[in-house]
Amino acid sequence: MNEHLQSSAANVFVIGDAVAKRIPKLTPTASFEGRYVTGAINGDAAPINYPVVPHTVFAGPELAQVGVSLDEAQAHPDTYEVLTQDVGSWYTYHRIRDDNARVTTITERASGQLVGAIALATNAEELINYCTGIITQGLPASALQQWIPVYPSVASDLGYFYN
């Protein structure tokens, strides 16, 4: 398979679990690849470029992660800042009775941009989806000052997580 998801036969494309890749082999990733192949068949010549891919273990509570991993960040402390916060006493998590909620954010020291996040909490998938958008768009922390989310919600806590 090449960088255009073509097999050794130029008119045969490979997507989903059949693709040898470091990106998580998840349903949304396969859907992304399918849309990419549609574009390639219709003449788009650019190689596939994966965005950050969030993933969640749906349990009680959920465990979700996106972007730079904790292992990667801890291995490069000059590049990344890691902030882990116990947030169970914050109003949002207290309201939904998740006293053990915990969130880790990973920022790139040079730019201050959010590059990774890990959430162990009820509704972690929702929080990770917001973080995925912030990472993908490269939004600075100041952008969070320009919107008013529903309160209380995990979105309303983003300003506290993203330092």
Q: Quick one: pLDDT at residue 115? A: 95
Q: Give the pLDDT band (50/70/90) at residue 66.
A: very high
For the stretch 15-19, contacts whose Cβ atoms lie closer than 8 Å and that sit 24 or more positions apart, written own/partner, are: none
Model confidence at 163: pLDDT above 60: no
CATH tag, 55-161: 3.30.390.30
Domain with CATH 3.30.390.30 in the chain: 55-161
Instruction: Pick 103 or 139 by higher pLDDT.
Output: 103
Q: Strand 114-121 and strand 55-57: pairing?
A: unpaired
